[in-house]
Amino acid sequence: MTSSGEDALLIKAFQRGDKRAFDQLVIRHKDKIFNLCYRFLGDYEEANDSAQEAFVKAYGSLKTFRLESAFATWLYRIAVNTCKNKLGSSAYKAKRKTVSLDNPGNNKEEPSPMEIQNGSPSPLARMEEKERMRLVQTAMDTLPTEFKTVVALRDMEGLSYEDIAEITGLNLGTVKSRIARARTDLRNKLRGVL
Amino acid sequence: MMDCSEIRMLLSEYLDDALDEKAKALAEEHLRTCAACQKELDSLKALVKGIGSLESVKAPADFLDQLHKRMERRSKISEIWEWLFYPLRVKIPLQLAGAAVMAFLIFSILPMQQAPLRLYSKSEPEKKAEEKTYYVDESKEMKAAGRSEALVQKAATHGQAKDKETRDVALKLKKQVLAKAAAPEPSAAPAPASPAVLEMQRQKLATRAPTQEDKKEDALEKEPESFFSITKAIEAAKGKLLSIDYNQQTGRPESIQAEVPAGQISFLYEKLKELGDLQVPPETRTEKDSDLVHVRIRLLGLP
């Protein structure tokens, strides 16, 4: 069964009254949603808050979800809107600060989600790779929200132009032009790094 | 054949294999011969690979527990909200009843508060004018006295022509009219009052000091003929005497107020001119002939 087919079964179960089905949906999608929020906000705690908020909203609307679009796309749309709202909030703007990729989380017992596990035997190579990723993330953070959204969905989540158009509510031509513009901007900022 | 700038605008879509066949063929043809654009494409490929290689950030291990706690908090808030507004069949009638009570109280209290405000809004000259104005009672005393100015009494409220535009005219009575007033004809004397009334008046005078009321009545006694003439003029113009105003210090009459049909204003002026010099403001009448207009006749030259 496809991933979206499994989602559909869980959604139907939830709509019949099985609350545990929603937990399964959360487990299936939490990391993708969390990662997207993190790329958007550049802050682990804020990403956690936004990802949870996105699931709370999804829970409230899932009873009326009609399965006409993929659940993942619908969930991404909720997450993107939640992050946009947070980015626009004065509380977030006041708190905004430079993000450290080295220690984004507070859970010391768990391995750091940002731990680079590329199998490189050289500590120096690992350090260089970390630094390169930090610079990429920093460059991403400087993009305007409308460009950050599309490039994150395309180049990090690997979504199609059509899905991105559905998630963002933009037309296809605008999605293409924004992705091209964001990539050009990033390439100019990361010359010599990538 | 496309130039470099046009090709570079297509490179992002070319990279994602999102170009149509024709555009893709043109781009490939250009890239085969243009090293600079090929380098640009390679640079973009490296960027996309670099972004894609960013390590995924995973949700915390207790993400689901945190989510449950958050939903539980929200659920409690929802329960309180529902408790406040549900069941609707009970809450809505209660709220409607509350709203009705509030509306009743508002509409009951508001007029009570507006009344004193209206009183206080009156200007000081207006209040003074009210205090010193004596209105004619057209009841039995008038008939008994046989003269319209025979009885004046203090009234608490103003006449019905108050809101209308007032014609303010000034009348300087002729000497002969004043002379008549100083020596009234026997026929113009007030009708004899009954013995009981006279006794009551005598007792009143005996038991109290002279007041403003007495002064006014004295003044009226001294100028009966002039008032009689003015009253006649008003009556001839189908008008109605409303009041006689007195100076509070001297107790002398200052003006007479009347209501006259608008169509009779000119006639009234003619009649008043027979009694003396009349100063009349320019007439800009907007009322119909049958409308009653307010006329104030200020008396000049009284001794």
User: How far apart are the CA of A187 and the nearest CA of chain B, in angstroms?
Assistant: 6
Q: What is the ipTM of this complex?
A: 0.78
In a domain, B111, yes or no: yes
- CATH 2.60.120.10 applies to domain A1-95: no
Structural domain containing residue B111? 86-118
Same domain, B249 and B111: no
Per-residue pLDDT tens digits for B197-206: 445 545 544 4
Question: Do B64 and A187 count as a contact with CB atoms less than 8 A apart?
Answer: no
Strand partners, B245: B133, B255
pLDDT of residue A80: 93
In a domain, B255, yes or no: yes
Distance CA A167, CA B164 (A): 71
Question: Do A105 and B67 count as a contact with CB atoms less than 8 A apart?
Answer: no
Per-residue pLDDT tens digits for A139-148: 988 899 889 9
**pTM exceeds 0.95 for this model:** no
Same domain, B144 and B285: yes
Same domain, B213 and B287: yes
Same domain, B212 and B266: yes
User: How far apart are the CA of B78 and the nearest CA of chain A, in angstroms?
Assistant: 12
In a domain, B62, yes or no: no
Distance CA A112, CA A89 (A): 28
Same domain, B137 and B282: yes
Q: What share of chain B is helix, strand, coil (3-state, %, to 5)?
A: 60, 15, 25
Same domain, B112 and B242: no
Task: Sort A178 into a burial class: Cβ within 10 Å, 0-12 / 13-18 / 19+.
Answer: buried
Distance CA B250, CA B103 (A): 53
Same domain, B93 and B139: no
Same domain, B164 and B257: yes
In degrees rounded to 5, what are phi and psi of residue B252? -90, 150
pLDDT of residue A104: 47
pLDDT of residue B90: 65
- Delimiting residues of CATH 1.10.10.10 domain(s) in chain A: 114-194
User: Mean pLDDT over residues A108-130, rounded?
Assistant: 59
- Delimiting residues of CATH 1.10.1740.10 domain(s) in chain A: 1-95
Q: How many distinct structural domains can be found in chain B?
A: 3
The CATH code for residues A114-194 is 1.10.10.10
Window B:71-110, CB contacts with A under 8 Å: 71, 74
Chains A and B form CB pairs within 8 A to the count of 105
Same domain, B128 and B273: yes
pLDDT of residue A114: 46
A interface mutation test: which of B51, B64, B74, B81 has the most A CBs within 10 A?
B51
pLDDT of residue A23: 95
